[in-house]
Structure 1
Amino acid sequence: MKKLREFLDPPKVLVLGFLTIILIGTFLLTLPYATINGDGLSFLNALFTATSAACVNGLVVVDTGSTFSTFGILVILSLIQIGGLGFMTFATFFAVLLGKRISLKERLVLRESMNSSSIEGIVKLSKRIIFFTVLIEIIGAIILSFRFAADIPTGKAIFFGIFHSISNFNNAGFDLTGEFKSLTHYVDDSIMTLTVCALITLGGIGFIVLNELYEYRITRRVSLHTKVVLATSFVLTFGGTILILLLEFGNPKTLQTLSHDGKLLAALFQSVAPRSAGSSTLNMADLTQSSLFLIMFLMFIGASPGSAGGGIKTTTFATLLGAVWSQIKGKEDVVFFRQCIPFNTIYKALTVTVSGLFLAVVLTMLLTITENNQDFLMILFEAVSASSNVGLSMGLTPDLSPIGRILVIIAMFAGRVGPLTIAYAIATKQEANTFRYPKGKMMIG
């Protein structure tokens, strides 16, 4: 047992924990009463769906609303909630309720799962996460239930409201509207658009940021992390909205036929959702190539650290831009809000970006082999969406071959847990270097 505890370091615990949740979800979705037709899903389709839900991705091979029974939908919803918040957050919360002491190792795993830099106050933060989640999801569910009640029976509307609130706050993107349509029926609906955008944004900025904003009334200050997250998120949302509005303004399949308010709402939604949600109010296949490329760029950046979202994260993107700008200006330090960024943070940002890019490129390359009869742009879009844990699709996912589905499953898992976490979990412990090699010169650029 002692050797086992030493072997199970935080990265290994996270990887094995997510694998366990996915396998349990897979088993439950293969049961006959998980689907409406009473046959259950095949193992591969169940594995794909469970992975997509637990990794809060949103890519689906079968339509959620028309395929699953109430039991199946509740299984998916549970996987989304556990996967979005992290299984360690739930385990810690229930341990505290039972009066169990949280060990140092459990705190280290919590820190790893939340991508936090310190274990100080980590248990308190995990309890706050539950509080924020329940509060925001209840408010979102109430608003969405009232909106759905205008179109469907009240009981069903409440169920839809709860499901879509949890799904979008956790940046999962699963929906019950049927026929793989996502939220396209509500493209110019202000209540639906603004509510879902708010849920996606609050779930994507990270719980550390939410906690600091909650405590601002007492502390009257926020950290550099929060400042960078909020500033970068605002620029990406505002800039994405304007660009999509300009690129799609004359497209008869998307914005051209909408009112001025409808155009703005649709552009806003398509700017917010690629940041790791997966819901959409426009058919992705109808967008222009320039808009699709922009959306892939937003998907690759993704949400913020410590959130349910994927991508390389907003702080990583901001750090790289800051490093490039410093080089252009001939300065040695990267400075944000009058604070210098440590070099190890810049190296980590570069490593995360290259790892994410490598995962997307490799998946694209492999899918061009397994799905060689499909359009390359569709393959590239699907690969970026899967590896960045977004869930937007141009319609390729249901038509993927069995090997293609397995590749996307692996990419979704790697994108959620993180390529670096998987690498740390696999790698053996290395001793620190006791010597350094002499510096060499090499030309760059």
Structure 2
Amino acid sequence: MKKKLSIWQLTPPQILVLGFALIILAGAGLLTLPIASASGQSLHFIDALFTATSATCVTGLIVVDTGSSFTVFGQIVIVSLIQIGGLGFMTMATLIAFVFRKKITLKERLVLQEALNQSSMEGIVRLIRKVIIYSLSIEAAAAVIFTIRWSLDMEFSKALYFGIWHAVSMFNNAGFDLFGTVDAPFVSFTGYANDLVVNVVAMALIVLGGIGFIVMADVMDYKRTRKLSLHTKVVLSMTGFLIVFGAIVIFIFEYSNTKTLGQLHMGGKILASFFQSVAPRTAGPNTIDIGSMRQASQFFIVLLMFIGASPGSTGGGIKTTTFTILISAILTMLRGKEDIVIFRFRLAKDRILKAITLSMFALFLVIFVSMLLSTTEDAHFLKILFEVTSAFGTVGLTMGLTPDLTTFGKIMLSLTMFAGRLGPITLAYALQPKQEKELFRYPEGKITIG
């Protein structure tokens, strides 16, 4: 008699991959229903699958405008996928377990450890509680502010709906918005380029969602512990540097561009520069037309999107910590040192190897998909590279190519978003056969470098 295969016999990476895949398929099924479409006609399955993937992987790339193409039912399906995908389906399952007072098993703790990219199971359930409390509290506070602001422009009921919807979308770094209309689709936040309240709240949500729940918990505990972990110091310092440096670069390159910053007053220029520096942290909304930016600015945003957010967050990319390790490794070699030291802590060799592996995986993936799409899509290579990097970094910024993609292009970008959300290494671990312990080691060899 054959033994039945249980889902809990799978490894944590395999459970994560399967879980996200099933959620995407369920979401795609719901979005193909006529009740989800504003036209009353069933959405093409590939478009529904792309939208569900983008929402679950909290990306924001869209092939049809969210505000004008979906009914309230369809929009609620999308924002639900964003919340599940942003916090992680295991976090949502844990929330249900808390409600019904169900005990969290050892296997479930292992999956949570993998989902939050933690090196230890110690305190994992306590961290999940904090993740849920912080997330819902931040989203609720932002929803209130958004509602008050937008009630000046629209009916209160619509402002409330928009406030809650966009608070969830922005905090989870999804980049979806409802401002598009039949006559003016895909407008994102361009109508609020000079609005201080909308810009500041949106940027705060993106940054808080992008720094990671571990960092938020560490900062909240600072009054009690009076110390921050190395991880928190690296994330906060690199995030701050990238935002400020990115804003300066965009401000300089776009200052005289009449199609972007050139049409704004000085305050609007500074606000838009910071917003477009924060957005590549894997969020995706834009207050200026990305397609009208100069090529230097567009390529710079590609680099920001590739770096992405931080570990244990709602964002993608190779992560700020990985980028910090790579830069530190270069500086260490140039100085002729042996150990990589950050904030007076020496990094273990396995952390360095993992950072290099992840970066190379990501680079090869972006290059491979870009090369494939350059043969199937009729577009400039920078436009293709921008879209692919946006998909991998789960950003959602676009130069306008996504709605015009071929079916093959949509499938490839969907797979890229999936890989970007879960992480190339998690996917590799999920797909690799069971590893056997090596019984011997080969002799050390030397290769000339440089």
By the TM > 0.5 criterion, same fold?
yes
* Aligned position for 2:360: 354
* Aligned position for 1:343: 349
2:210 is the counterpart of 1:204: yes
Residue 412 of structure 1 deviates from its aligned partner by 0.7
**CA separation in 2, counterparts of 1:3 and 1:165?**
40
After TM superposition, what 4+ stretches of structure 1 lie above 3 angstroms from structure 2? 1-7
Question: Residue by residue, what CA displacement relative to the aligned partner does 1:342-387 show, whole Å, maximum 9, x if unpaired?
Answer: 110000000110111111101101100110x211111111111111
The match for 2:114 among 100, 112, 125 is: 112
* Aligned position for 1:295: 301
* Aligned position for 1:421: 426
* Aligned position for 2:410: 405
**CA separation in 1, counterparts of 2:219 and 2:188?**
31
The match for 1:56 among 49, 54, 58 is: 58
Contact 2:299/2:382 (CA < 8 Å) preserved in 1?
Answer: no
Letter in 2 for 1:169: F
* Aligned position for 1:435: 440
**CA separation in 2, counterparts of 1:418 and 1:101?**
28
**CA separation in 2, counterparts of 1:2 and 1:443?**
52
Letter in 2 for 1:298: L
Q: How many residues align?
A: 444
Residue 2 of structure 1 deviates from its aligned partner by 6.9
* Aligned position for 1:78: 80
SS in structure 1 of the partner of residue 188 of structure 2: coil
**CA separation in 1, counterparts of 2:8 and 2:45?**
34
Residue 7 of structure 1 deviates from its aligned partner by 4.0
**CA separation in 1, counterparts of 2:70 and 2:5?**
43
Question: Residue by residue, what CA displacement relative to the aligned partner does 1:219-268 show, whole Å, maximum 9, x if unpaired?
Answer: 11110000000000010001001111111111111111211110100000
Q: How is 1:40-439 mapped onto 2 (pairs within 5 angstroms)?
A: 40-178=42-180, 179-371=185-377, 373-439=378-444
Contact 2:51/2:62 (CA < 8 Å) preserved in 1?
Answer: yes
**CA separation in 2, counterparts of 1:422 and 1:75?**
26
Letter in 1 for 2:383: M
RMSD (Å) for aligned C-alpha atoms = 1.0
**CA separation in 1, counterparts of 2:8 and 2:60?**
35
**CA separation in 2, counterparts of 1:275 and 1:65?**
23
**CA separation in 1, counterparts of 2:33 and 2:349?**
51
Structure 1 residues 5 and 57, CA gap change in structure 2 (3 angstroms) = closer
Contact 2:32/2:45 (CA < 8 Å) preserved in 1?
Answer: yes
Contact 2:57/2:85 (CA < 8 Å) preserved in 1?
Answer: yes
Greater CA deviation, 395-404 or 375-384? 375-384
TM-score, with normalisation over the residues of structure 2?
0.97
**CA separation in 1, counterparts of 2:261 and 2:428?**
43
**CA separation in 2, counterparts of 1:283 and 1:5?**
45
Letter in 2 for 1:426: L
Greater CA deviation, 220-229 or 144-153? 144-153
Question: Residue by residue, what CA displacement relative to the aligned partner does 1:68-98 show, whole Å, maximum 9, x if unpaired?
Answer: 0010000000000000000000111211221
Residue 417 of structure 1 deviates from its aligned partner by 1.0
**CA separation in 1, counterparts of 2:42 and 2:314?**
28
**CA separation in 2, counterparts of 1:149 and 1:265?**
22
* Aligned position for 1:4: 6
Contact 2:7/2:15 (CA < 8 Å) preserved in 1?
Answer: no
Residue 152 of structure 1 deviates from its aligned partner by 1.5
Residue 4 of structure 1 deviates from its aligned partner by 3.4
Greater CA deviation, 178-187 or 152-161? 152-161
**CA separation in 2, counterparts of 1:101 and 1:193?**
42
Unmatched 5+ residue regions in structure 2? Answer: none
Structure 1 residues 409 and 5, CA gap change in structure 2 (3 angstroms) = closer
**CA separation in 2, counterparts of 1:63 and 1:106?**
37
**CA separation in 2, counterparts of 1:244 and 1:281?**
13
SS in structure 1 of the partner of residue 261 of structure 2: coil
Structure 1 residues 97 and 6, CA gap change in structure 2 (3 angstroms) = closer
Contact 2:56/2:82 (CA < 8 Å) preserved in 1?
Answer: yes
TM-score, with normalisation over the residues of structure 1?
0.98
Greater CA deviation, 35-44 or 285-294? 35-44
* Aligned position for 1:28: 30
Unmatched 5+ residue regions in structure 1? Answer: none
Identity %: 54
Letter in 2 for 1:422: L
